[in-house]
Amino acid sequence: MAAQGIEQTGAQPTPPAAGYPSGGKAESTGSFSWTPYVFLAPYLLLFTVFIVVPAIFGLWISLHNWDYLLPEQPWVGLQNYVNLFTPGSPTAGFFWQSMEATGIFTLFSVPFLVIIPLLVALILNQSFRGRNFFRAMYFAPYVLGVAVVGVLWQYILNPGFGLINYYLGALGIGEGAVPWTTALPWAWISLVGMTVWWTLGFNAIIYLAGLQDINQELYEAAKVDGANRWQRFVNITIPGLRPVFLFVITVTILASANMFGQSYLVTDGAPANETRTAIMYIAEEGLENFRMGSAAAMSYILALFLALISILNFRFLNQKEED
Amino acid sequence: MAAAAKTEGRDAGGLARKLLSYAVLLLLTLIFVAPLLWMVSTSFKPNPETTALPLSWIPKTFSTEGYSTILNSSSQSPALLWFLNSMIAGLANTALILVTASMAAYALARMEFRGKRFLFAAIISTLFIPPIILLTPNYQIVDQFGWLDTLLAVIVPGAAGAFGVFFLRQFFLSLPKELEEAAMLDGANRYQIFFRIILPLSKAPLATLATLSFLTNWNDFLWPVYVLFTPGNLTLPPGLAILQGAYTTNYAVIMAGGVLASIPVLIVFIIAQRYIIQGVARSGLKG
């Protein structure tokens, strides 16, 4: 292989066309080549059929009374959207209740999922024996799916013979009969708590990588200047983690706003649909009741909210950087 | 020297802090691991014991009843079939992602062609599309293909995501161009370069992508709940939801299902821990 290489290079002394180091023969002479398209074709086929087409087709569906079980799907214009903003329509009440559920869950889960993993990462960032072991232990629940986590916590949270009430009862708290999955605010505490348990490791790993990226010389210099631990944290660690914060907060908000499995398996939306999230309601409306037009309209409204939050979050954190 | 003396003086405080750290670390470990141990313990209890007080961490009577119930393939909850289905779907989906994403990523990283920038921007922008808007339309598309209630429904659409392309393109860009240029002077074409030079150099990112893809597919919940219905055609996550509905308080059975669904991903995690953690950490820094 190597010998052949030398031979051929010797026989072909002309350097490749200047300014076109990445091109092949056909590309460097400027003629058309099929090669890039051959490489792209398999992925682009999937991309077109399962992302581009459905993204547009969804809008089309949302403009129809698209009942999947009926032979005809009449055009209704913006009616599905108007219904969502008309109090008393069949969908408006349930939809905004589910949006509120998603909002509550996001509002209460995100702060825990932003702050606790940072503390865990700070502890893990010290050098000590068994660091990788602990890191793996904290991350382990995250590799389990929501289905496993859901059925497991549904048992642990059972009011009659779940672990939590059993130990609370032993401590004399709540008479061991807290209705963790059937009444508020307990259902929210359960859903937020199990989600923090499940996904904390993910954010912690990201913080840990961010912490290790901060220039250690900054800490040394600050020590020389007499800065204490807290001052170093506020003046070096926090600013150093800014891009990581942006990522963690955005990803966590989006993940929380897309919550489905926990409510589906643990509370089943109880009590009285209070913990039925937007995703859960959209899936029910579209794929159980087959009213796909209104389900599609709801999904675009939800997507609009999510886009807005991402943009605001990005603006806010970037603005801070400029200050 | 003065600095060394100073460090020594601080050692007592350092030790106390270290002990406190270890106490916190162990407490956290307990919080993360105890529920998993509880699942395993429950799965080996006879069912009446799973709802009997006082609770016991170690089964008083050791029983494999939970497992024999779900592993009986003639039942309404053929968990062994679910396990096989999950395995087939996970492996096929991962293979499909590796092949399509690596090829596309290489073209986007190294070749010049018309519309490249637009195409890359279009692909990346879909990373920000909330998947919920694709739910009902994709259901109909899959139905049109006759894929509802088949494994193809949980293998193919999930391979269209842009993450793999984005992730591998970043890696290909970081490879030195000299290798490819030398190979080109040797008369190698793009295909030979891709298969003989680029892919062998990309084992680590490919392993990372494979691991993350498999875990994602294995754990996927919402989509399979709605596109698979016949008991024998389910994957494990919708299967667990069925178990929960069918066996309500037979926790030995439900936890046996949970253990069955956890074992492969925990094994993957133990073997490929480095790749998973690096993959997650890197995706964070890129953002």
**3-state helix/strand/coil string of chain A:** CHHHHHHHHHHCCCCCCCCCCCCCHHHHCCCCCCHHHHHHHHHHHHHHHHHHHHHHHHHHHHCECCECCCCCCCECCCHHHHHHCCCCCCCHHHHHHHHHHHHHHHHHHHHHHHHHHHHHHHHHCCCCCCHHHHHHHHHHHHHCCHHHHHHHHHHHCCCCCCHHHHHHHHCCCHHHCCCCCCCCCHHHHHHHHHHHHHHHHHHHHHHHHHHHHCCHHHHHHHHHCCCCHHHHHHHHHHHHCHHHHHHHHHHHHHHHHCCCHHHHHHHCCCCCCCCCCHHHHHHHHHHHCCEHHHHHHHHHHHHHHHHHHHHHHHHHHHHHHHC
Is A141 an interface residue toward B (CB < 8 Å)? yes
pLDDT at B218 over 90: yes
Are A40 and B157 in contact (CB < 8 Å)? no
Q: pLDDT confidence of A127, banded at 50, 70, 90?
A: confident
Residue-level pLDDT at B10:
56
pLDDT at A321 over 70: no
Distance (Å) from the C-alpha of residue A203 to the closest C-alpha of chain B? 9
Measure CB to CB from residue B287 to each of A33, A247, A260 and give the nearest one: A247
Which of B195, B120, B134, B198 minimizes the C-alpha distance to B162? Answer: B120
Is A37 an interface residue toward B (CB < 8 Å)? yes
CATH architecture of B86-237+271-286: Orthogonal Bundle (1.10)
Q: pLDDT confidence of A19, banded at 50, 70, 90?
A: very low
Q: At what angle do helices B11-43 and A92-124 cross, to 10 degrees?
A: 130
Contacting residues of A for B138, CB less than 8 Å apart: 50, 54
**Chain B residue nearest residue A12, CA to CA:** B185
Task: Write the pLDDT tens digit of every residue in A287-308.
Answer: 999 999 999 999 999 999 998 8
Distance (Å) from the C-alpha of residue A87 to the closest C-alpha of chain B? 24
Distance (Å) from the C-alpha of residue B119 to the closest C-alpha of chain A? 10
Residue-level pLDDT at B286:
45
Is A311 an interface residue toward B (CB < 8 Å)? no
Query: How much is the ipTM here?
Result: 0.91
A52, B129 in Cβ contact below 8 A? no
pLDDT at A18 over 90: no
Tell me the mean pLDDT in the region A174-193: 91
Is B271 an interface residue toward A (CB < 8 Å)? no
Average pLDDT value over all residues in chain A:
87
Is B243 an interface residue toward A (CB < 8 Å)? yes
Q: A 191-230 residues with CB below 8 A of B?
A: 197, 201-202, 205-206, 208-210, 213
Are A55 and B137 in contact (CB < 8 Å)? yes
**Chain A residue nearest residue B193, CA to CA:** A24
Contacting residues of A for B103, CB less than 8 Å apart: 39-40, 42-43
pLDDT at A25 over 60: no
The C-alpha atoms of residue B235 and residue B212 are separated, in whole angstroms, by: 18
pLDDT at A129 over 60: yes
Residue-level pLDDT at B35:
96
Are A287 and B110 in contact (CB < 8 Å)? no
Q: Could you tell me the residue ranges of all domains in chain A?
A: 98-322
Which range of A7-11, A140-144, B276-280 scores highest in mean pLDDT? It is A140-144
pLDDT at A11 over 80: no
Are A128 and B22 in contact (CB < 8 Å)? yes
Distance (Å) from the C-alpha of residue B203 to the closest C-alpha of chain A? 19
Task: Write the pLDDT tens digit of every residue in A216-264.
Answer: 899 999 989 988 989 999 999 999 998 899 889 989 999 999 999 999 9
Contacting residues of B for A286, CB less than 8 Å apart: 135-136, 139
Q: Could you tell me the residue ranges of all domains in chain B?
A: 86-237+271-286
Which comes out higher in pLDDT, residue A23 or A145? A145
Count of CB pairs separated by less than 8 Å, A with B: 305
Is B31 an interface residue toward A (CB < 8 Å)? yes
- Partner residues linked to B59 by β-bridges: none
Measure CB to CB from residue A21 to each of B29, B128, B181 and give the nearest one: B181
Contacting residues of B for A23, CB less than 8 Å apart: 111-112
Residue-level pLDDT at B280:
79
Measure CB to CB from residue B112 to each of A27, A264, A288 and give the nearest one: A27
Measure CB to CB from residue A145 to each of B22, B140, B219 and give the nearest one: B219
Contacting residues of A for B162, CB less than 8 Å apart: 47, 51
Residue-level pLDDT at A68:
87
Residue-level pLDDT at A203:
94
> How is domain A98-322 classified at the CATH fold level?
MetI-like fold (1.10.3720)
